Each structure stands twice: as C-alpha cells, then as structure tokens.
Amino acid sequence: MKHVVSQEWLFEHGIQDHIVIADCRFILGQPEAGKQSYDIDHICGAFYFDLERDLSGPKEKHGGRHPLPDPGKLAAKLGRAGIHEHSVVVAYDDQGGAMASRFWWLLKYLGHDEVYILDKGYSAWKEAGYPVTEELPVEQQAVFTPKVRSEMLVNVEQVKDRLKRPGTVLVDSREEKRYLGLEETIDPVAGHIPGAKQYFWKEGLQASGGWKDASEQKARFADLRNADELIVYCGSGVTACPNVLALSEAGFDNVKLYAGSWSDWISYKDNPVATGKE
C-alpha cells in the first residue's frame, strides 16, 4: 500500500534517526482522553499531536467544528517533533485511522509526501507485543517549512459552484443514517449536501481493523471511476481524510477535501440541504 505501513515495518525501522512517529489518539466528545492514553503508554519515541489543539484551528461562526490549523503554528509543532523535509513520518491512533489520516492529510497539504499511517493502530500494536513506553521523547529543534498545496482543498463557495457541475462528485464520508438525515447527534441540522454520494469511511477497513488494499478500495469506489473531480467531506473534515487516503490508494488523483464539511455547510442558512436517498 502507498500510504500504510505494517507493524513489522515500523518495528524494524522506527528507531532510525530520520523516522518520526506521531501519536494522534483522540476521542470526539472526550478531548482529554487521547493525551491521557498517551501519557500512560505509547510507541517508543512517539510525539503526541492533539486533534483540537494541534491539528485544528479555533472554532468560529463559519469553517466547521475542526477548521484547519494555522500552517505556521503546526509547522512549529512539527519542528519540535523533529520533522523536517527529509523525515519519514508514521502516524497512528486508536480510532480506525481517522485522526491519523487527518495528520497524514495535513502533512501532504503542507508539502510533505513522506508520511504514512500505521496499519491497525495502537491497541493492535500493543496486543502484538511490540514495545511501548511511558517515557516522553525529547523535544527537537528541526525546521519544518510548509509549502501549502491549496489545490488539495475547496471552500464552501467552491462547493456551491460545483453542485451541478458534470463530472464533479461529492463524497459524504459519514454513516448512512446521518447522510439520510434520520439521525444527527453532533450537528444542529440533519441531512447532506444535495447530490452527494455516501461512502462511509469505515468501509475502507477490513474486519480485522487493517486497511483494505488498493484492489479492494478500487472495487469499493468503482462507481466513481469516471468522475473528473471528487470532493470529499464528512461532519467536520476529520473522517473525510481516511476516504481521501483510500481514494488515493485506489488510484484516484483528482481528490479534494472540503475541510469545513457538513458543519461549515449548515452554518450558512441559505445553503440547500437534502435528506433521504439520492
């Protein structure tokens, strides 16, 4: 797989100087839980990246529940973790890869290609008997220079402009009942962006918790193969990222993230909302 490394690979290579490990564990609604888990134990040498403090900016009226972070602030944190242009970075979480995928996407967005996700996540690593520690890594003084790839991103106006554009497909990454508008436990309005197709992000994983391979992802997204452009969203721009990764594994290179996602879309009263099957 292009973007996923195995436990065996990380165990063999993780202690090399140019490899940096990022712990991205985070539980939505329990903002301290990830850091508390990290403090108990983590993969040796891993630096902690908090979804809301490090991988998101401050919440405002528009922009969604997890706006993108300021590139300079995130770059400074990446430098303190020892990440520079020659680093190979491996991220993990315990949430099926959702938080680690957000980290993966952000590094790609900031111009860093050598970033990967650990297959199956932290608990599986620990259960397999690989080493963990409570020791905190030493802060580094590397310089990470962001080179923002704005073409990876779309905003609310760009989504509106594309709503009925032939060849552009919106991909909703949330579970079906939220997409259909039958249930909404997080955002104040239920439903989806009109015309969007639903591909729940967890369908990119095998029953074992590992990532499906390229051929399985290709089959999963077969109906999208003729699209000129794919715009992926979710509730707040986090669980869309594993779908962006899966689409890339499947060979799609025309994929953009609507980072504000549903929570940004519904912050504008005039934006249309659809419910039920498309």
Q: For 29-60, b where at least 16 C-beta lie within 10 A, e where not — what string?
A: eeeeebbebbeeebbebbbbbbbbebbbeeee
Mark whether 234 is an active-site residue: yes
Could you tell me if 121 and 95 are in contact, meaning their C-beta atoms sit under 8 angstroms apart? yes
Phi first, then psi: give them for residue 36, nearest 5 degrees. -65, -40
**pLDDT in the model for residue 278:** 84
**How does pLDDT run along the chain (278 residues), one tens digit per residue?**
999 999 999 999 998 999 999 999 999 999 999 999 999 999 999 999 999 999 999 999 999 999 999 999 999 999 999 999 999 999 999 999 999 999 999 999 999 999 999 999 999 999 999 999 999 999 999 999 999 999 999 999 999 999 989 999 999 999 999 999 999 999 999 999 999 999 999 999 999 999 999 999 999 999 999 999 999 999 999 999 999 999 999 999 999 999 999 999 999 999 999 999 98
Of 24, 44, 234, 241, the active-site residue reads 234
**pLDDT in the model for residue 149:** 98
Q: Read off the tokens for 19.
A: 């490899």
**pLDDT in the model for residue 17:** 92
Phi first, then psi: give them for residue 144, nearest 5 degrees. -105, 120
Could you tell me if 264 and 156 are in contact, meaning their C-beta atoms sit under 8 angstroms apart? yes
**pLDDT in the model for residue 8:** 98
**pLDDT in the model for residue 109:** 98
Global pTM value: 0.98
Cβ-Cβ contacts under 8 Å for 226 (sequence gap 6 or more): none
